[in-house]
Amino acid sequence: MRGRIELSRKNVQDARRAFEHVLRDIAKHDVYALCSLGNYYLAAARSEMARAQEAPDQKGARDLALANYRRAIEFFDKCLTLDGNCAAAAHGAAIAMAERGFAADARRIFQDVRDAATVGMGPAHVTVPSSDLVYRAAPALTAAQSDTPPVASDVILWASVNAAHALVDVANYHQAILAYEACLRRLQDTSQALELAAADAQSLVVPGIAGENDADKSSGPPAVERVSATERAERTRVERDIRLYLVRAMYLHAKASKDIDTMKKALEETRLLCSAIDFTLPQSPKPDADGDVPMDDDEVKTTKLSPEHGQLLFDLALLEQSVAQMVGEQPE
């Protein structure tokens, strides 16, 4: 319990010590504590690996990252020895393997977790990744998988996304494209089902009589709307992320196979993503009546973009350039 509280407060080191205390002094086979420590060392490995990439001359950071990956796998393996249905441990081990370069082996594990969830096991908790194209941890398979789980708890979806990531890592771009498209279909199907379920729940709420039971009346429909709106926003964000993964796979496939049709599809997908963003492109200053171009900062319209939007515009420009280059290289 203390470890969970410390994690909720972002006190990672205190949480680690709490889980170590559980294993050392209370229950050395506690699966939750073992898996939590596996996640701790996996996060530490990622942090050290990022530091090593920023400063390649720091060999110590890379060695420490590899040591943390090995430590994480040890904890995840211990979890799986105790509970073979622990999806969080299976995903954690597969993520560590993929990030160390064993993507093919990791993909098989992701597929096993997805298949296990499909036949009737389901999630209890999920950890959200913090960066682009990062393998996403999965919840433990401890309960029946709902037909319409919240997107953050959809173990089938995230196992499929991770398997697609692994296909990209082994340069099997065509299969990765198909896998990401299947993920989008899964997301769209469950989104439609959730919307229908929310509509059904709304229709079942019986309004109170004016002046009677006002508390019950006010807590009915609005509560349904709040939950639905939050879930809808999260699904929109997840769909955007998966489409970005899809565009990346399309681009890599098109570059590797000189496939201009796939490159055009990636460009069209990126244009659709840009069209969903509410921003205005920078405008060049217009000449005045004398034909002079004003250079005053107040007269030059600029647009401040978030890093996320800026990256999307960069991707759009890159794809525009790639399509133009491939068209130019075609024989007349």
Q: Quickly list DSSP for 264-325.
A: HHHHHHHHHHHHTS------PPPP-TTSPPP--GGGS------HHHHHHHHHHHHHHHHHHH
Can you give the pTM of this predicted structure? 0.65
Q: Which residue has the higher pLDDT, 237 or 27?
A: 237
The token duo for 331 is 């024989």
pLDDT at 204: 61
Question: Looking at the predicted structure, is the pLDDT value of residue 268 above 90?
Answer: yes
What confidence category does residue 284 fall into, taking pLDDT thresholds of 50, 70 and 90? Answer: low
Q: Cα separation of 50 and 40, whole Å?
A: 16
265: pLDDT strictly greater than 90? yes
Q: How far apart are CA 241 and CA 247, in angstroms?
A: 10
DSSP-derived secondary structure letter, 330: S
Give 214-253 pLDDT, tens digit per residue.
444 444 444 444 446 778 888 888 999 999 999 999 999 9
d(CA 80, CA 95): 15
> What pLDDT is stored for residue 123 in this prediction?
37
Name residues whose C-beta falls within 8 Å of residue 42's C-beta, 6 or more positions apart in sequence.
Answer: 68, 69, 72, 92, 95, 96
Contacts of 303 (CB under 8 A, 6+ apart): 279, 280, 281, 282
Cα separation, 205 vs 272, in Å, equals 38
Question: pLDDT tens across 41-62, in order?
Answer: 888 888 888 888 777 777 788 8
3-state secondary structure at position 143 = strand
| C-alpha closest to that of 194 among 249, 122, 254, 146 | 146
